[in-house]
Amino acid sequence: MIVADTNLIAYLMIEGDFTPQAELVYQLDSNWIAPYLWRSEFRNILALYLRKNYLSMAEAKTIMAQAEALMKNKEFELDSASILEMIENSTLSAYDCEYVVLAKKLGINLITNDKKILKSFPDLAVSLESYGQKS
């Protein structure tokens, strides 16, 4: 089981440069979890793709439905106190802290390409590339 940040989910669901790495991570461990926040962040990614005409509305709706199916029953509500404490003890955004708190709470890795998270939590956060080299 791993905590997947929103970008990892997007890399898997939307064809791009990091899709092969995301697919490898999924092959190594398909039990991805995330805070409920991932949905809003994912919709933001889809909004960008829609506005730049990289996706049609039909494609965006299909991708969102597929992502929701992938993450069904794998979403977690986190208590605000834990997130606020993480915010106080780091320089990460509240959004990023949700992923870190979830990984810490469960004692599992957070897979991300976010350089700030990787630098701040090297014992917890693992890059896509590094995780793929575990095989």
- Give the model confidence (pLDDT) of 16-75 as tens digits: 999 999 999 999 999 999 999 999 999 999 999 999 999 999 999 999 999 999 999 999
Q: Domain of residue 103: give its range.
A: 2-132
Q: Tell me, what's the pLDDT at 124?
A: 95
pLDDT tens-digit map of 96-127: 999 999 999 999 999 999 999 999 999 999 99
Q: Tell me, what's the pLDDT at 133?
A: 76
Q: What is the total count of domains within the chain?
A: 1
- End-to-end alpha-carbon separation of the chain, Å? 15
Q: 93: domain CATH number?
A: 3.40.50.1010
Q: Tell me, what's the pLDDT at 134?
A: 63
* Long-range pairs for 54-61: beta carbons < 8 A, 24 or more residues apart: 55/14
